[in-house]
């Protein structure tokens, strides 16, 4: 049984303009999927439908066979703890320290009061340091996040998502604001996460070569529709043509 | 090479300058304000000030009572500002696009903010005077309402500008509304909000002098009293002490700003 089943979802922000139309695919545990497609194709929207930061207009998404649109407010919180999210602009609380930001990933498990009073258990704190250690950020634990480099910020973002103990990691262009070296570090970490921890990664990417190199499966979006869904090895020039339109092809493959 | 954008900007500037000049001229005409007369009366005004506004030894005897009134005024301004800022924070949370609960409260909050902000503080004082009479409460409410309008507006903007992305991140971890507000919105926005509160304390100390004249409380009352009894020496001592207080408050708040930002 698949972990996540996306069935025929559509999304329109405004009337008669479908941003997503008829999207269907299944996701298994531990898969590493890249979603590629031109700007405005609906990649970010699709990711946000999965954790219901955006409510889709029709269709259904099943997680462990539960329809996520039917979740109560409380169950939605519980559901979101299962889904980590990583952002292009890191989305950290920049005035707080690294360790505080990492522990934010536990808020979904806390009561309102525990959260506001920052009551975290010893284990949670240990886990936070352990994750920072693994991501090579241990020494920066007490630094304010606005004093970090982009690559370091993204690693804090990953730690915050991992401490949720998620089943799925949604990554919205995690390397779009990073230089090639930091990009490689981040992508390697994501790859490790999916292989060692068997956490499913769904990654929006703009670089076809990166997508081909890291993922087990590529989904190509164009105009809100899936135009490719398959192994990276089988992605042909014709497919790339379909995904990005004709002019872009030379640029991408050059 | 001629760059069109520059030429266009120059033309816009010329037109703008002409309009301002015309408006100044027309307004002066309509209000019978004569520039020549205005400027020629300046030296005479200064001569009067020089001879009447000297701070004399006798006026210093009034210092204790002036200080008393001054302290009353300062505390009134601070209380009005802090209480208004708490309500303003709640309204701003409801009004901001990032943290709104629903469309209705968001619109309501923006409406309240704009009404309170756009009624001048003197008008508030005069309106409230009718219902509360001449006492400190009237002054308090006048300052409170005007501050509430202003702070709600700037708090809403601060929340919208600074905390969008971290709010999204925390919501996606499963954090609930109160957790998001306390762990993302407040840490991101508090330095700027405190800065605005300090600004309002400064402003309110200045305005409370004026409000005090109307409501018969605080330093404004003292000012009015000596002004009407034509004891101009004391009036200038009061003015001087207000200036000293405002400047010190400004220095203190600049220091606080530097530390928190
Ligand atoms: N909140 C919103 N309200 C209205 N329209 C929106 C909203 N968010 C996105 N859209 C529209 O939906 C379409 C898809 O946007 P989306 O951000 O999902 O694209 P994307 O594939 O992630 O693009 P990019 O690669 O530039 O990030 C765009 O046309 C955009 O204008
Ligand atoms: Mg996007």
Per-domain boundaries in chain A: 1-82+166-254, 89-165
Structural domain boundaries in chain B: 2-38, 58-260
In angstroms, what CA-CA distances link A59 with A7, A19, A230, B100?
A: 6, 14, 22, 27
- Residue B257 and residue B249: Cα distance in Å, rounded? 12
Q: How far is the CA of A72 from the centre of ligand 2 (A)?
A: 28
CATH number of A1-82+166-254: 3.40.50.300
Q: Is residue A42 within 6 Å of ligand 1 at its C-beta?
A: yes
What is the tens place of the pLDDT at every residue in B158-217? 999 988 999 999 999 999 999 999 999 999 999 999 999 999 998 998 898 888 888 888
**DSSP per residue, A111-178:** -HHHHHTT---HHHHHHHHHHHHHTT-GGGTTSBGGGS-HHHHHHHHHHHHHTT--SEEEEESTTTTS
Q: What are phi and psi of A172, to 5 degrees?
A: -95, 100
Q: Of B168, B175, B188, which is closest to A95 when you measure between CB atoms?
A: B188
Token readout for A245 is 């339109």
With bands split at pLDDT 50, 70 and 90, how would you rate the model's confidence at A206?
very high
- Cβ pair A215, A203 in contact under 8 A: yes
A25 sits in which H/E element: strand A17-27
CATH number of B58-260: 1.10.3720.10
Confidence (pLDDT) at A196: 93
pLDDT at A254 over 50: no
Q: Is residue A44 within 6 Å of ligand 1 at its C-beta?
A: yes
What is the tens place of the pLDDT at every residue in A118-162? 899 999 999 999 999 999 999 999 999 999 999 999 999 999 999
What is the tens place of the pLDDT at every residue in A23-59? 999 999 999 999 999 999 999 999 999 999 999 999 9
Cβ distance B182 to A78 less than 8 Å, yes or no, reads no
Place of tokens 């530097």: B258
Model ipTM over 0.85: yes
Q: How far is the CA of B139 from the centre of ligand 1 (A)?
A: 50
Q: What is the pLDDT of chain B when averaged over all its residues?
A: 90
């Amino acid at each position: 049984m698949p972990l996540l089943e996306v069935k025929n979802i559509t999304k329109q922000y405004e009337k008669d303009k479908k941003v997503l139309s008829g999207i269907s695919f299944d996701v298994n545990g531990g898969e590493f999927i890249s979603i590629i497609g031109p700007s405005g194709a609906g990649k970010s929207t699709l990711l946000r439908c999965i954790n219901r930061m955006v409510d889709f207009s029709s269709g259904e998404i099943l997680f462990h066979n539960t329809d996520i649109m039917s979740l109560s407010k409380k169950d939605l919180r519980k559901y979101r703890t299962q889904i980590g999210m990583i952002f292009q602009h890191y989305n950290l609380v920049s005035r707080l320290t690294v360790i505080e930001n990492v522990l934010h990933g536990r808020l979904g498990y806390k009561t309102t009061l525990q959260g506001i009073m920052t009551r975290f258990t010893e284990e949670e704190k240990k886990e936070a340091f352990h994750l920072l250690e693994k991501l090579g950020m241990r020494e920066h634990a007490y630094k304010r996040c606005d004093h970090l480099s982009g690559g370091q910020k993204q690693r804090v973002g990953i730690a915050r998502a991992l401490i949720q103990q998620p089943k799925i990691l949604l990554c919205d262009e995690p390397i779009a604001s990073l230089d090639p070296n930091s990009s490689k570090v981040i992508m390697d970490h994501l790859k490790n996460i999916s292989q060692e921890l068997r956490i499913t990664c769904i990654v929006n990417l703009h670089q076809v070569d990166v997508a081909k190199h890291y993922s087990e499966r590529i989904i190509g979006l164009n105009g809100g529709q899936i135009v490719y869904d398959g192994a990276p090895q089988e992605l042909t020039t014709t497919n790339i043509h379909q995904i990005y339109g004709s002019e872009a092809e030379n640029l991408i493959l050059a | 090479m001629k760059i069109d954008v520059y030429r266009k900007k120059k033309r816009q500037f010329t037109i703008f300058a002409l309009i301002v000049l015309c408006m100044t001229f027309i307004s002066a005409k309509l209000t019978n304000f004569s520039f020549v007369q205005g400027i020629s009366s300046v030296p005479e005004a200064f001569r009067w000030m020089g001879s009447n506004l000297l701070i004399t030894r006798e006026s210093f005897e009034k210092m204790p009572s002036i200080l008393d009134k001054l302290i009353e005024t300062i505390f009134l301004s601070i209380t009005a500002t802090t209480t208004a800022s708490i309500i303003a924070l709640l309204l701003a949370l409801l009004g901001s696009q990032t943290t709104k609960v629903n469309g209705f409260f968001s619109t309501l909050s923006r409406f309240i903010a704009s009404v309170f902000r756009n009624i001048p503080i003197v008008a508030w004082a005069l309106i409230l005077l009718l219902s509360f009479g001449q006492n400190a409460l009237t002054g308090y409410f006048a300052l409170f309402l005007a501050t509430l309008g202003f702070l709600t507006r700037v708090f809403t903007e601060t929340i919208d500008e600074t905390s969008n992305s971290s709010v999204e991140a925390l919501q996606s971890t499963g954090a609930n509304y109160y957790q998001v507000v306390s762990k993302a919105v407040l840490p991101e926005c508090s330095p700027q909000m405190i800065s605005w509160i300090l600004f309002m304390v400064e402003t309110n100390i200045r305005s409370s002098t004026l409000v005090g004249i109307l409501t018969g409380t605080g330093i404004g009352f003292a000012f009015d009293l000596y002004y009407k009894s034509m004891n101009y020496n004391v009036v200038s001592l009061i003015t001087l002490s207000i200036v000293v207080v405002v400047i010190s408050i400004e220095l203190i708040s600049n220091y606080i700003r530097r530390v928190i930002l």
